[in-house]
């Protein structure tokens, strides 16, 4: 090609070639090596699945702890539970006397079910004070403790044939292996594991239960003794006693944080011992 024609051809086509080359380079930078600039097929639209539905079980007449477990294990994730406490002369303390939604209703998993829990009768005329001879003390179930806490729940069952009244706080003594009282101080102010609620009269029918909680902080350095038995003296008459084989061991040491023991009032339902319920 002649030099003059070459210059004329480049002046006409050169800018177009450079523009095309720039477009190709720009596309390569966006798509990356080995990638196609052609868009792929759109992602499939996933249908929204309806929430899982379950039938609400019938827990009226059960103890509240068994009822809560039954609600929590139904289906895949269970049903949530909240409590409403009411006095009832027709049911023992802790017994479920009502539920909403009703039994057999269809509900989504995770739905909150409200359980009405009996506190026992509000008043039983002619009842006498509970005595130590009328009550049997037993350890409650293990407590899910906060870090560093040592917690004991005690159930007191009326083993007499008559309804009796229990009110106030137990007078607690933690004894060593020789039966000597360990030098703890006891308070009714509550702590992170024990309610500080004020006591109210409990009317315990035969086989009815009351609850009390004892809690203290652990020994961080070294224990110098152990609580071998626990004595709960009733506010009115008598006492009940348990040995260490019946409850978690409480350590004793001269560490200020570990020397104070929180004691709850007598409560008709174990859930009320928790400060979040107090």
**Class level of CATH domain 128-273:** mainly beta
| C-alpha separations of 18 from 11, 12, 60 in Å | 12, 12, 84
pLDDT digit string, tens, across residues 117-136? 999 999 999 999 999 999 99
Mean pLDDT of the residues in the chain: 84
- Domain ranges in the chain? 53-118, 128-273
Q: Which CATH class is domain 53-118?
A: alpha beta
Q: Decide if 53-118 and 128-273 have a common fold.
A: no
Instruction: Determine the pLDDT at residue 20.
Output: 44
pLDDT at res. 220: 94
Q: Which residues have a Cβ under 8 Å from the Cβ of 215 and sit 6 or more positions away? A: 149, 150, 151, 152, 191, 193, 194, 261, 262
The pLDDT score that the predictor gives to residue 72 is 93
pLDDT at 46 over 70: no
Condensed to tens digits (0 to 9), the pLDDT of residues 61-77 reads 999 999 999 999 988 78
Q: pTM for the full model?
A: 0.76
pLDDT at 5 over 50: no
Alpha helices, DSSP H only, in the chain?
3-31, 64-73
**Cβ partners under 8 Å of residue 79, min gap 6:** 54, 56, 71, 72, 107, 109, 110, 111, 112, 113
Residue 136's SS3 state is strand
- Collect all residues with Cβ–Cβ distance below 8 Å to 41 and sequence separation of at least 6: none
pLDDT in tens, 178-226: 999 999 999 999 999 999 999 999 999 999 999 999 999 999 999 999 9
Residue owning tokens 């809560």: 68
Q: Collapsing DSSP states into helix, strand and coil, what is residue 94?
A: coil
């Amino acid at each position: 090609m002649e030099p003059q024609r070459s210059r004329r051809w480049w002046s006409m086509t050169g800018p177009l070639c450079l523009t095309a080359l720039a477009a190709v380079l720009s596309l390569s930078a966006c798509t990356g090596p080995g990638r196609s600039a052609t868009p792929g097929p759109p992602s499939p639209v996933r249908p929204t699945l309806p929430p899982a539905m379950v039938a609400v079980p019938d827990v009226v007449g059960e103890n509240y702890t068994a009822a809560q477990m039954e609600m929590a294990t139904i289906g895949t994730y269970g049903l949530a539970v909240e409590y409403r406490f009411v006095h009832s002369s027709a049911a023992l303390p802790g017994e479920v006397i009502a539920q909403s939604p009703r039994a057999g209703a269809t509900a989504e998993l995770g739905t909150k079910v409200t359980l009405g829990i009996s506190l026992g009768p509000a008043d039983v005329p002619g009842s006498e004070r509970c005595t130590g001879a009328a009550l049997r003390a037993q350890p409650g179930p293990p407590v899910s403790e906060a870090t560093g806490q040592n917690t004991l729940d005690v159930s007191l069952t009326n083993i007499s044939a008559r309804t009796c009244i229990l009110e106030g706080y137990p007078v607690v003594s933690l004894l060593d292996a020789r039966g000597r009282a360990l030098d703890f101080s006891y308070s009714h102010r509550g702590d992170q594991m024990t309610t500080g609620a004020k006591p109210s009269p409990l009317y315990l029918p035969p086989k009815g239960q009351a609850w009390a909680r004892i809690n203290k902080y652990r020994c961080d350095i070294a224990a110098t003794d152990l609580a071998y038995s626990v004595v709960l003296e009733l506010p009115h008459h008598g006492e009940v006693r348990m040995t260490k084989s019946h409850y978690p061991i409480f350590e004793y040491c001269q560490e200020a944080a570990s020397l104070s023991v929180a004691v709850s009032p007598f409560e008709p339902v174990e859930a009320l011992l928790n400060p979040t319920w107090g």
